[in-house]
Amino acid sequence: MASLETLEAHYSAQINAASDEASLEAIRLASMGKKGEISLMMRELGKMSPDDRQVMGPALNGLKTRITDALAARKNLLEDEALNARLVSERVDVTLPVAREPQGSLHPVNQVMEELAVIFADMGFAVAEGPDVEDDFHNFTALNFPEGHPARDTHDTFFMEAKDGETPKVLRTHTSPVQIRTMMQGKAPIRIIAPGRVYRCDWDQTHTPMFHQVEGLVIDKETHMGHLKGCLIDFIAAFFETDEVEARFRPHHFPFTEPSAEMDVRYERVGDAVKVGSGDKWMEILGCGMVHPNVIRNCGFDPEVYQGFAFGMGVDRLAMLKYGMPDLRPFFEPDQRWLAHYGFSPLLQASLASGLS
């Protein structure tokens, strides 16, 4: 009996000292398993005399029961401790502000830029880019702006501080200098669009000091005004995703085109957006014309041989018209709520086949 008491004390101490369920399982196997110490003692009962078996049987069964109960109690305690530890580590303070998952979206300007590139790429136009800071020649002189033209005044243009004896550089007032740089490479035919940022001294509901333009240029030996009209009507139909486009071209004046025109489209307003192709109102949408012979000559081409057309439009205004944005100024304000409302999924690619937007 003394050996049973010693055995019980030994296993009880091990059970109480077990720090995890794996250790407790090892103690159970050592004591109560198929080859455990207590299990082997139980097998020896059959070899004992009836008198010894009458004494040892109840003693061994009692020991087995107490060790089994001790193992179960310790296991329950360890499970409770593990659960409490998990609850502490996984606790959420519901009084804290909700942390939203980061969500990015494409700015409407970027979306419209992609749509423009897709549409004009289908017509065979490449995308060309140039610097935001330009010299007087590329921004004005080569484009046939005469001395004293209002665009050369400081109330219209941002001039950089000039070094001694140098003509001050400017923040480009249009992306037309990209057309000049492309033409001066001397390779024709040319068929490009030039999207990018431009800068003018203006600030109100529909004008900002920095905004976005896209201009187009075609130079070859055969292009005429009819090609220009067809190209722009096809563009408007694709961009506003309509089969019905009624347009008119009003005579206008631009220094770099001759003849020049402004293109109007028939529309009706639906909420804050416009529906092109219906209604009884006309809206000016862009400026265009045949490239002025002086511009062609300034870029090294013979205007008796080469001709072409150019056009330009505001990207921000196109976005406002198509997607119903009443004010231009929030385009450039750091308001995540505005971008969450008007932004586009970066995973959706603009496509003429599946839809631009």
Domain ranges of the chain: 2-89, 108-342
Tally Cβ neighbours within 10 Å of residue 2: 6
pLDDT at 2 over 70: no
CATH architecture, domain 108-342:
2-Layer Sandwich (3.30)
Within 13 Å of residue 208, how many CA atoms lie on the same side as its CB?
17
Q: How many DSSP H helices and E strands does the chain contain?
A: 11, 10
**How confident is the model at residue 208, as a pLDDT?**
79
DSSP state of 107: -
Least confident of 43-52, 83-92, 240-249, 264-273: 43-52
User: Which helix (H) or strand (E) element contains residue 197?
Assistant: strand 190-199
Encode 343-355: b = buried (16+ Cβ within 10 Å), e = exposed: bbeeeeebeeeee
The better pLDDT of the pair 32, 114 is held by 114
Quick one: which of 192, 188, 189, 156 has its CA closest to 171?
Answer: 156
Dmax (CA) of the chain: 132
Q: Span 124-139, mean pLDDT?
A: 92
pTM for the structure as a whole: 0.67
In which element (H, E) is residue 332 found?
none
Q: Give the pLDDT confidence score for residue 271 in this predicted structure.
A: 77
Mean pLDDT of 214-242: 94
Average model confidence (pLDDT) for the chain?
86
How far is 56 from 128, CA to CA, in rounded Å? 99
